[in-house]
Structure 1
């Protein structure tokens, strides 16, 4: 009687279990890869429906623009333009007292109120967050402090004097020219091609600070 006969089956079962474990552990990475990526940089050329961009990370990228790509202009604004009820977004970092220090503030037009509502991690700096919501109280003195209300919470944000403040305005492809600074969201396909979901383009030399 051959007592070693079950060994191949046992090895097969062990290998199957191991392969299943490896595949399961790989799933989160694949899901992460499917998320849109943010690109910050300068348009170097426009070739039909393709933008060539030199990113702030030193990469030369080509990104397709489609009829579904949302295009917004970015113009300079003043803190006086932020009023109770304004819908804003702000990349910020935490302060010791639990409030946030703004790294930038962008003001949405009324028709874009509700865009990205909430508070979440952001990639402007390692510890930055993004808060989108409606301005509640606003104090124009003593550091310029605002409260931002969003579904499920509220944040207090301090806006230093040197922080860039911009308006987001409706735009079109006429804004997409060589030399223009952009921040865009792009979807990466399985063949590594990039398609822009949205583009925020600086007007009159403005660098989008988001």
Structure 2
């Protein structure tokens, strides 16, 4: 690999890491628009139309939001992956819900490429799965396959035991550009409210080939 190629790859992973970090940090629920000037929001939905540097989004709850997409908005594909890609040493994120025995049950798993190791490390509340929903980013330690997989996910000095069912969605990240913003694409938009039902995007994650981003 040439020095220029190494720099290009490093820059790519840096961009993806920033994008994923913005997704992890996006506040509020996916379906409710707060007043203008509030904290950043995370919106999940489907692109209805694209015109220039803006798009119209229908959220999963049916709301309509106008999204400005300025130059510099971070764009990332979310792509389908497989359970077999989750291995000891993998750096993953997983939205999950608590179980009666104190473990977590994954709702989805996203696998970070090596250059994004450390992105959003830790465990925090998340707006999927109802009360008690969480997002945990960390390194897979032990991994036991039985009825589903039970993974120990370590972050700092802490860890979580997480059941990963056989049918859980597993995804990964790829770079994207504005050509990915097309009508019908399923997206997660993180942005800043600027008016009623309008935001300026800081990052957009796009499900590739019709995929709905599961996180």
Which interval holds the TM-score relative to the shorter structure? 0.7 to 0.9
- Mapping for residues 57-206 of structure 1, pairs under 5 Å: 57-127=61-131, 128-189=133-194, 193-206=198-211
What is the Cα deviation at residue 191 of structure 1?
7.2
Alignment partner of 1:174: what SS? helix
Q: Where does the alignment leave 5 or more consecutive residues of structure 2 unmatched?
A: 1-33
State whether residues 109 and 169 of structure 2, in contact with CA within 8 Å, keep that contact through their aligned partners in structure 1: yes
1:47 Cα shift? 0.8
TM-score normalised per structure 1: 0.79
Moved over 4 A (4+): none
CA distance in 2, matches of 1:169, 1:200: 10
* Residue equivalent to 1:12: none
Q: Secondary structure at the match of 1:177?
A: coil
Residues in 2 aligned to 1:181 and 1:35: alpha-carbon distance in whole angstroms: 23
SS at match of 2:160: strand
Q: Distance in 1 between matches of 2:192 and 2:114?
A: 27
Tell me, yes or no, if structure 1 residue 51 matches structure 2 residue 55.
yes
Point out where structure 1 has 5 or more consecutive residues left out of the alignment. Answer: 1-29
Structure 1 equivalent of residue 5 of structure 2: none
CA offsets 1:19-55 (integer angstroms, 9 cap, x no match): xxxxxxxxxxx9xx63211101000111111111111
- Determine if contact 2:147/2:166 at 8 Å carries over to the other structure: no
* SS of residue paired to 1:197: strand
Q: In the alignment, which residue of structure 2 is the partner of 1:23?
A: none
Q: Is the 8 A contact 1:108 1:169 kept in 2?
A: no
Deviation at 1:152, TM superposition (A): 4.1
Distance 1:85 1:129 in 2: 21
Give 3-state SS (helix, strand or coil) of 1:204's partner: helix
Structure 1 residue 141: deviation in Å? 2.7
Q: RMSD of aligned C-alpha atoms?
A: 1.9
Q: For the pair shown, which has the larger CA radius of gyration, 1 or 2?
A: 1
Deviation at 1:155, TM superposition (A): 0.7
Q: How many residues align?
A: 180
TM-score (norm 2): 0.78
Instruction: Tell me, in whole angstroms, the C-alpha distance in 2 between the residues paired with 1:113 and 1:173.
Output: 26
Could you list the per-position Cα deviations for residues 153-207 of structure 1 after superposition, in whole angstroms to 9, with x for gaps in the alignment? 2111101112111112222212111000011211113676411121110111111
**Which moves more between the two structures, 135-144 or 172-181?**
135-144
How far does residue 67 in structure 1 lie from its aligned partner after superposition?
Answer: 2.7
